[in-house]
Amino acid sequence: MQYLPNILFAILLFAAIGFFIRNIKKLIRNINLGKAIDRSDNPSLRWKNMMRIALGQSKMVKRPVAGFFHIIVYLGFIIINIEVLEIIIDGLFGTHRIFSFLGSFYGFLIGTFEILAVLVFVAVVIFWIRRMVLRIPRFWNKEMKGFPKNDALYILYFEMVLMALFLIMNATDVHFQQADSGNSISQFIAPLFKGYSTETIYFIERMAWWLHIMGILVFLNYLYYSKHLHILLAFPNTYYANLEPKGKFNNLESVTREVQLMLDPNADPFAAPDTSDTDEVPEKFGAQDATDLTWVQLLNAYTCTECGRCTSVCPANITGKELSPRAIMMKTRDRMEEIGRNIDKNGEFVADGKDLLTTISAEEIWACTSCNACVEECPVNIDPLSIILDMRRFQVMEKSAAPQELNSMMTNIENNGAPWQYNQLDRLNWKNEE
């Protein structure tokens, strides 16, 4: 019985880590279902972007209030969880505050953690007020209903509880309080438990300790199902982000070859195409389903934190149109999860009669002005526009399903050499009008 708590802790710990690894493998598998794309160029710039944007939060602070409090939560939560290492060692080996041999430095660390815990708690409360009291519009778009809305609240409540448990754990640790070695905040909480018996205080301390580590392990495994997966994916997402100038359209090699062939008067139209240094003709042009996207685009979808900054600056959305860049990313991720569950069930993907175009409407993808405002605004370099353009490409090149205005323009270009519906011989008639 002496080692029963350690055995239970080991079972809990390894079960949680095993479940986390299982989900991460599913995540990697789903992302790798995307089409291949080479993003290995310019590694020095990619590392710089990752350090500046993902680690340094440089794009978050473009909105100072949210950026400032996000940095507090980000740094505080990460730094405070350094003490998880001590909890794991104590839990596995039955020790108590194994790092206390560090003396005054240990006290300084815990004292710093306690200050950060209070700051994180305050920042999270402010986030809750912004979302539920001030009701900032971007948190209340129509796609933010049901689980997406509640997910954000669950995380806020998680963080509040974890910070409170950390402080209570320290405040009820009698030996730690008596050591007076840096318990900067918990010493003011400890008097709340004055008058309780030693056994009761010990029980509260142990309960806070267990709930704190269990909460962290639950939080770890909740990430896969939550928008807060960006805590992990923001780093690879910013590293593999597109380095090309915004607005540069990626040409299909197979189409480029055909155009060059038509423009070359000496070309043999019956000759076999040279594909030695170019991509082969794709199975389809553009994207009909999530697996037609590249793995980087799927990584984008899983990284989306649903903050709504992209939608809040989208001119189409602002003017009341159907498009929401955030909804594009959410629907792409949901479709990938659906495909993943299909594979889990059947061993391989079995056609289900659905695709991304049954989820994302033509009205949404054609409302986009291609202005790149969503790409510029995203704090972790997600590119919703690339998905929209690939879906447009499929609609035009595979289905000939462009809007009537666009079809008319392309017909005019084909017949008249200009977007306008008049004969080439009439182009200069305006010169003769007085």
The answer, as to whether pTM is greater than 0.85, is yes
Architecture of domain 253-416: Orthogonal Bundle (1.10)
Per-residue confidence of the chain (434 residues) as pLDDT tens digits? 678 889 999 999 999 999 999 999 999 999 999 999 999 999 999 999 999 999 999 999 999 999 999 999 988 878 887 888 999 999 999 898 888 888 888 888 888 999 999 999 999 999 999 999 999 999 999 999 999 999 999 999 999 999 999 999 999 988 787 776 656 788 889 888 988 898 999 999 999 999 999 999 999 999 999 999 999 999 999 999 999 998 888 887 777 877 777 777 776 766 665 655 555 556 788 899 999 999 999 999 999 999 999 999 999 999 999 999 999 999 999 999 999 999 999 999 999 999 999 999 999 999 999 999 999 999 999 999 999 999 999 999 888 888 888 888 888 888 888 888 777 777 777 666 55
How far apart CA 17 and CA 92 sit, in angstroms, is 14
